[in-house]
Amino acid sequence: MVRATLRAAHVSVFGLDVGTSGVKGLALDADGGVVAAADAGYSFATPRPGWSEQDPEDWWRAAEAVLARLQAAAGPPEGVGLSGQMHGLVALDSHDRALRPAIIWNDQRTAAECAEIEATLGLERLAALTGNRALTSFTAPKLLWLRHHEPDVYARIAHIALPKDYVRLRLCGEHATDVNDASGTLLLDVAERRWSEEMLDALAFEPDWLPRLLESPHVSGHTAAGVPVAAGAGDQAAGALGVGVDGAGGNGIVSVVLGTSGVVFAALDRYAPDPHVRVQTFCHAIPNTWHAMGVMLSAAGSLRWLQAILGADYDTLTAEATTWAPGAEGLTFLPYLAGERTPHDDPDARGAYAGLSLRHDRGALVRALLEGVAFGLRDSLDLIAALGRVGETPTLGRVSGGGARSDEWLRIVASVLELPLERVAVQDAAAFGAALLGGVAGGVWPDVPAAVAATVRPGETIEPVSDWIEPYRAARERFRALYPALRACR
């Protein structure tokens, strides 16, 4: 027992999250305590409207810097786990050099290629195979775009990699990925957790381009110092582990993310995709489990947009929002500032305020925005709950993301979702979840559920406000009627 206690005190595992704006890293001990944290930033380029690209070497330089800082503070790790932005395309030549900047998840250039994929496979077959429809964020449409528009680059492809997997390649020299991140390529047979020969044949892509496929906690390779590196997971699945959504015991817990985008995420014990593909179905980061996920594109991003226009700090704005009753006297905000994914799958959807009156002030604009984001999250929750595959009806939301710092916003979201929301001790959920996967790969914990049980610490619970529930039910009906009305006006 003494030896085990001493070992636990000295164990460290590292998790890296290769995000859109930078790499975040955490070093954890065996009880989930944060021993060290580090981050390093970078930018992305928009060479044309709707395009988003990054230099893969920026990810590696940032990851190197973060790893060095973590090791200086915490010592050498038992294992390293990787998480990151999903869907990005890194095209590599035969010497593992990037042929062009990576086309990342928020790039919108591939609408024609998405239509081509759905016409080639048929939407029903595509959804059955991949759990999804063709979305502009996914990887396969980007490959088709290269074939159509940069044939010289396309002809030189020897390998493709996802963003975190490029970091793995530089870290341990391995072409590998995990089934969760691979689910976002549109090239995975999600039910069978293997690359889809049918998709590759239909789109005429070379199977040799694809990396070796692993379950998330499995060892993908080793660093030069011999440290095992877990296969890892995409940011949402790793983040779900980081807040304890592992599906253990069918506990009815869902992950609710109030980041730049908004996500409702539920673990599933079997593959059964939404037949209408309004929510995404991926392999989860735990072997033999899956997840359903609804995504709205502008959650905290909507508040950041309004804050920049109004020129006041967030605390001031949310304080002014508290002076308005639920529903803000009929003022409704649609948070579709960058199009919308769930439930409309409409890149041309746009945001709107409706119901403005002379009485409405700055606080009312903020209140309606906070409520509009909450209604968008409720759309995702209702679709996931209707699938009937969450183990049981959702009973608790574990919340993360920058918006989770606002008590008022969480009271609104809890009341709209009609679910209690629970914070966790660590807000960098994706890096935390990646560290858990690294710890399983390094033998610190026997499996992912054991890692989650040993480390995830629930914090404060925010309950729905009972007097707000009925007003929000009525306001939600106004919200849902607004999108089709505005779409008819295009």
Q: How do residues 441-464 score in pLDDT, each as one tens digit?
A: 999 999 999 999 999 999 999 999
**Please, are residues 214 and 176 in contact by the beta-carbon 8 Å criterion?**
yes
What residue type is assigned to position 207 of the chain?
P
Global pTM value: 0.91
Task: Give the pLDDT of residue 3.
Answer: 26
pLDDT band at 122 (very low <50, low <70, confident <90, very high): very high
Cα 276 to Cα 137, 260, 321, 384, distances in angstroms: 19, 26, 36, 12
Dist CA 63 CA 91 (whole Å): 20
Q: Is residue 135 part of a domain?
A: yes
User: Is 406 among the domain residues?
Assistant: no
Res. 81: pLDDT tops 90: yes
pLDDT, mean of residues 214-238: 97
Answer whether residue 123 is part of any domain: yes
- How many domains would you assign to the chain? 1
CA dihedral of 405, 408, 414, 420, whole degrees rounded to 10: 60
Catalytic annotation on 107? no
* Residue 17 resides in a domain: yes
Q: pLDDT of 407-448, one tens digit each?
A: 999 999 999 999 999 999 888 999 999 999 999 999 999 999
The residue annotated as part of the active site, out of 165, 189, 235, 379, is 235
64 within a domain of the structure (yes/no) = yes
What's the CATH number where 145 sits? 3.30.420.40
C-alpha to C-alpha distance for 295 and 209, rounded to whole angstroms: 29
- Give me the pLDDT at residue 1, please: 24
Q: What is the pLDDT of residue 2?
A: 24
Domain-embedded: residue 165: yes
What is the tens place of the pLDDT at every residue in 307-347? 999 999 999 999 999 999 999 999 999 999 988 989 998 88
Q: What phi and psi, each to the nearest 5 degrees, are found at residue 56?
A: -55, -30
CA dist 370 and 386 (Å) reads: 25
pLDDT at res. 11: 84
Domain annotation covers residue 457:
no
* CA-to-CA dists, residue 173 to 28, 165, 220, 223, 334, angstroms: 25, 10, 10, 8, 46
Residues 89-98: what's their mean pLDDT? Answer: 98
Domain that holds residue 140: 11-235
CA 227 to chain centroid: 27
Q: Would residue 179 count as lying in a domain?
A: yes
